[in-house]
Structure 1
Amino acid sequence: MASTYLPTWLHLPHIPHTLDLRRLYNHPVTLGSALLAYIGLSTAWFLVKDLYSYYVLLPADVRGTLSRRPSVYFWSGSIRLVRALRGLDGTDARPIRRFVQREQQGVYGRAFLRDGELGERRPPRPELLTQGIPHRQVPQVLDEKLSEALEARYHALAKAYPQLTIGPSLIEPNALALFYTSPSPPAQLHPDIAVEPSSPLIEFAHIHHSDNSQHIVLAPLDAAEAIEKGWAVRFPLAGGGGVAGQEGRVMVYAPRDEGEVKVVGMLAERGVQWDMAEVV
């Protein structure tokens, strides 16, 4: 392999007792070694900056939890790497629609959003803290009145549907969640509920108090429409199967005004209707 030599004008001057240093500095370096050194140093610098940003920007509501562990950071990093290589940023709904087309179970072909019910969201989309875990938006929308209005929508849903209960999330710290009381036998449930751990309470929606965004399990067709119209972004693990891997799991962006509170609250209700749907 070709070697790269430093030009003579860059050689160290002759200084007594520095022979070994001069030999090391003026030693020819192969292009391959130089390239590997550059890649190694660049990777190390990226990891240092990214790890620092991850911990500094990590929302206050998840600090001190599992998301602070280095293992979770590297797990999140692996998710981000796969998504980057596949060109996925969560705003493309085509994989969801392809899933519905090839899925044989009729329940996945159902939609609960009525025609024309969901309009286009005013741009821009918020950015994400990371493409992995934790899943939060930036900037964080922390309007106290909007937070209270959004929580009021959850309480209203819990009163309107006897199968629902409301309380602190079992998944996220500092989050208000809606739980679906699982009927017996579980075979009556559609697959999105059956994959969750056996429990009388199934958590399918919660509000993050750090930014007012929500995680909701929607019908896949409803999730696709919410993404396409700018209201939501796909959850990083969605489509992977198992717990938290439902096709319709999305993050709904935080409302910016009272009108948007009504829209995102309506999406939460459509999630309620989907999760209580019977398999036919």
Structure 2
Amino acid sequence: MVGAAAAGIGWAARDYRRWKALGPGGVPANPVGWLAVSGMRLRARDPYTWREAGSGDVDRGLLTLPPRAGERPEVGPHPVPHRVLTQHADQARVAALQDVVEELAGRDDLEMRTSGWEKHHPALWRTGGAEIGHVHPADGSMHVVLAPLDARVVVARRWGEFHPLAGRMLGLPEGYVLLYPPRTDAEIGYLRSILEAAAR
């Protein structure tokens, strides 16, 4: 029993350090926040499967979205903050992606405000309405809210994956998706198409 307890404490200490290294998210970055996130992990869903397709048609901007080349990046096991661990974008591409978000915010029906989920990053919102998406400055990944059918297309073509708590906790909608960081300038264009679909 002593050995098992020591192993459990060792695992918890390592997991806490890994979680802290992800940076700020939507919960306090302290042991209380880690315990809350550890409980959330018990509710996590498979990030590659969908529960409902939704109705209507796929957004026209996604009809020609090609499959993302190569392997998916590794994503951390913690649902908050939900971050990629590999294939990070360089800072120039992170800035270019943020420019896309801010350009869209110039539309009359959209605006920039602090993310309601992340609490720390600027996000694209519908004017007077719901949050659409935000860029994670540390790695260039994004969270966006897509219609369920659009989210299914994006995940199936490997541009992202469902948040583990989408449709389950924290008020995250079914189409809440993590988009992987851009590895090339061309990929920024495809991510723009996805973001524009989210904004329509």
Give the alignment's TM-score, normalised by structure 1: 0.64
Shift of 1:258: 0.7
Rounded Cα–Cα distance in structure 2 between residues aligned with 1:249 and 1:82? 15
Pairwise CA RMSD of aligned residues?
Answer: 2.4
Considering Cα pairs closer than 8 Å and 6+ residues apart, tell me whether 1 or 2 has the greater RCO: 2
Rounded Cα–Cα distance in structure 2 between residues aligned with 1:54 and 1:115? 34
Verify the 8 A CA contact 2:97 2:188 in the aligned structure 1: yes
What SS does the aligned partner of 2:51 have? Answer: helix
Residue 162 of structure 2 is matched in structure 1 by: 234
Rounded Cα–Cα distance in structure 2 between residues aligned with 1:242 and 1:41? 33
Rounded Cα–Cα distance in structure 1 between residues aligned with 2:91 and 2:5? 46
Q: Is the counterpart of residue 80 in structure 1 residue 7 in structure 2? A: no
Q: What letter matches 1:41 in structure 2? A: A
Rounded Cα–Cα distance in structure 1 between residues aligned with 2:98 and 2:61? 24
Rounded Cα–Cα distance in structure 2 between residues aligned with 1:66 and 1:228? 30
Shift of 1:176: 2.9
Unaligned runs of 5+ in 1: 1-35, 101-107, 182-199, 274-280
Change (3 A) 1:81 1:41: farther
Give the alignment's TM-score, normalised by structure 2: 0.86
Q: 1:219 aligns with which of 144, 147, 156?
A: 147
Unaligned runs of 5+ in 2: none
Seq. identity, %: 26
Rounded Cα–Cα distance in structure 2 between residues aligned with 1:114 and 1:210? 27
What SS does the aligned partner of 2:130 have? Answer: strand
Shift of 1:264: 0.8
Q: Is the counterpart of residue 267 in structure 1 residue 178 in structure 2? A: no
Verify the 8 A CA contact 2:126 2:132 in the aligned structure 1: yes
Change (3 A) 1:167 1:125: same
Q: Is the counterpart of residue 132 in structure 1 residue 88 in structure 2? A: no
Q: Is the counterpart of residue 71 in structure 1 residue 46 in structure 2? A: no
What SS does the aligned partner of 1:216 have? Answer: strand
Verify the 8 A CA contact 1:232 1:250 in the aligned structure 2: yes
Rounded Cα–Cα distance in structure 2 between residues aligned with 1:115 and 1:171? 25
Q: How does 1:139-150 map to 2 (within 5 A)?
A: 139=86, 141-150=88-97
Verify the 8 A CA contact 2:139 2:181 in the aligned structure 1: yes
Verify the 8 A CA contact 1:140 1:212 in the aligned structure 2: no
Verify the 8 A CA contact 1:232 1:252 in the aligned structure 2: yes
Verify the 8 A CA contact 1:178 1:203 in the aligned structure 2: yes
What SS does the aligned partner of 1:68 have? Answer: coil
Residue 16 of structure 2 is matched in structure 1 by: 51
Q: What letter matches 2:130 in structure 1? A: I
Q: What letter matches 1:162 in structure 2? A: D
Q: How does 1:1-280 map to 2 (within 5 A)?
A: 36-55=1-20, 57-59=21-23, 62=24, 66-83=27-44, 88-90=45-47, 92-97=48-53, 100=54, 108-113=55-60, 116-139=63-86, 141-159=88-106, 161-181=107-127, 200-240=128-168, 243-244=171-172, 246-273=173-200
Change (3 A) 1:241 1:132: closer
Change (3 A) 1:123 1:67: farther
Q: What letter matches 2:180 in structure 1? A: Y
Rounded Cα–Cα distance in structure 2 between residues aligned with 1:240 and 1:176? 24
Q: Which moved more, 1:110-119 or 1:246-255?
A: 110-119
Change (3 A) 1:129 1:156: same
Shift of 1:134: 0.6
Rounded Cα–Cα distance in structure 1 between residues aligned with 2:40 and 2:117? 19
Q: What letter matches 2:70 in structure 1? A: P
Change (3 A) 1:174 1:143: farther
Higher helix proportion (structure 1 or 2): 1
